[in-house]
Amino acid sequence: MTTNKQVLLASRPNGWVQASDFRIVETPVPSPGPGQMLIKIHWLSLDPYMRGRMSSGKSYANPVEIGDVMVGGTVGEVVGSSHGRFKVGDFVVGSLGWQQYAVSNGEGLLRVDPKLVPPQAYLGVAGMPGATAWTGLLEHCQPRTGETVVVSAATGAVGGVVGQLAKMQGCRAVGIAGGKVKCDYAVQELGFDACVDYKAGGLYEDLKAACPDGIDCYFENVGGVVMDTVLRLLNPFSRMALCGMISDYNSVEPYGVTNIRSILVNRVRIQGFIVSDRMDLYMRAIQQLGVWVSQGRIRYRETVAVGLDAAPAAFIGMLKGANLGKQLVRVG
Ligand SMILES: NC(=O)c1ccc[n+]([C@@H]2O[C@H](COP(=O)([O-])OP(=O)(O)OC[C@H]3O[C@@H](n4cnc5c(N)ncnc54)[C@H](OP(=O)(O)O)[C@@H]3O)[C@@H](O)[C@H]2O)c1
């Protein structure tokens, strides 16, 4: 190993991300100093939040600077270390970016057990997206037995866990996803009670039929017309965990939601949240989800791009719904 392939942010997108917004370079593999370690990255996570980091607008986190390595969650193996707590052979999860190697002093890194679940699961079902599902559903929606829980982007990294946790809570779990293949997967493999294809043309009618008792908890991942439609079906004193609004991430103009009045009439409680705000829940969630995944109680799928050269296209594809389950890059 002599070179470190890296994907840099080349330009800020205006609207949809383009492959030309990224630049791939090769630099020398960095050398760890005293108290540091060198990590060989095996897996990179591709997540919707990265679209926000490509822009300079106000957000909950700082943008990536032009020319910097793209931000991203990673799982890697320690290949050189003079660190007190991490030794060669350890697997670590953290945010080391779109590159093959990184040097770290250990800050923000978590040692994980690759024998409990496959290492890349710590980027998905037993990692940040799983913890997001847990926090939004259990802390902010607080569903009760017998209630109806609806989640959008239902077959994605977050949504797939939301539906399965809702079933564990004794709820009716209804997904919203793009296309028959995804909806069949939600029902047949993930155990959702129903799944509505929002691309089929009858979202309101189909969702109404899938939720005969209305909607008590809505886990919002997409915003836009899907959110507007769900608002019409919310029950009195329902809860909405506002997790993401991916339909707007590449828009120049945000979607104008029209059914706001439902929030008043139905006394809806809406909580926007960022998973990292509650690290106590995060740690509890990934620990429990890891065990449940190892026991086969939580199921998941992955869409894998091979090599960092494939990362920009895979990222753009994920934003457009090309992924089924967690979108990953096998780095090396
Ligand atoms: N608040 C937090 O802390 C936090 C943490 C993690 C993730 N999130 C948010 O959670 C959401 C899901 O993230 P994820 O990692 O699980 O991604 P994901 O669901 O695995 O992938 C994104 C999915 O979004 C759907 N999508 C894209 N454009 C859409 C549109 N216009 N309308 C409806 N659906 C659309 C696509 O599925 P379809 O084919 O079904 O359309 C696509 O597969 C995102 O909004 C993300 O920003 C928030």
List per-block mean pLDDT (blocks of 10 residues) for the chain, which spans 332 residues.
94 96 97 96 98 93 97 98 96 98 97 97 98 98 98 98 98 98 98 98 98 98 98 98 97 94 98 97 97 97 98 98 98 93
Torsions phi, psi for 69 (to 5 deg): -65, 135
Residue nearest to atom 41 of ligand 1 (CA): 178
**3-class SS of residue 288:** helix
Residue nearest to atom 37 of ligand 1 (CA): 321
Report pLDDT for 108. 95
Whole-number Å distance between alpha carbons of 328 and 180? 23
Residue nearest to atom 6 of ligand 1 (CA): 129
CA 178 to ligand 1 centroid distance, Å: 11
CA 157 to ligand 1 centroid distance, Å: 8
Residue nearest to atom 29 of ligand 1 (CA): 247
List strands edge to edge, sheet with 234-242.
194-197, 172-177, 148-152, 215-220, 234-242, 269-272
Whole-number Å distance between alpha carbons of 17 and 64? 14
CA 65 to ligand 1 centroid distance, Å: 24
CA 110 to ligand 1 centroid distance, Å: 25
CA 220 to ligand 1 centroid distance, Å: 9
CA 174 to ligand 1 centroid distance, Å: 16
CA 189 to ligand 1 centroid distance, Å: 19
| Tokens 């920009």 sit on residue | 312
Say what the pTM is: 0.98
DSSP β-bridge partners for residue 74: 44, 94
Residue nearest to atom 12 of ligand 1 (CA): 221
Nearest atom in ligand 1 to the alpha carbon of residue 272 is 1
Report pLDDT for 58. 87
Residue nearest to atom 31 of ligand 1 (CA): 247
Residue nearest to atom 8 of ligand 1 (CA): 244
Nearest atom in ligand 1 to the alpha carbon of residue 154 is 40
The residue to mutate among 246, 255, 274, 301, having the most atoms of ligand 1 within 8 angstroms of its beta carbon, is: 246
Report pLDDT for 260. 97
Cα Dmax for the chain: 63
Residues in the chain: 332
Q: Which residues line ligand 1 (CB under 6 A)?
A: 47-49, 129, 132, 153, 156-159, 177-178, 182, 221-222, 224, 226, 243-244, 246-247, 273-275, 318, 321, 323, 327
> Which DSSP symbol is given to 250?
T
Q: Do 97 and 108 meet the contact criterion of CB atoms below 8 Å apart?
A: no
Whole-number Å distance between alpha carbons of 128 and 45? 10
Q: Which is nearest to 150 in space by CA: 92, 211, 81, 61?
A: 211
Report pLDDT for 74. 98
Nearest atom in ligand 1 to the alpha carbon of residue 276 is 3
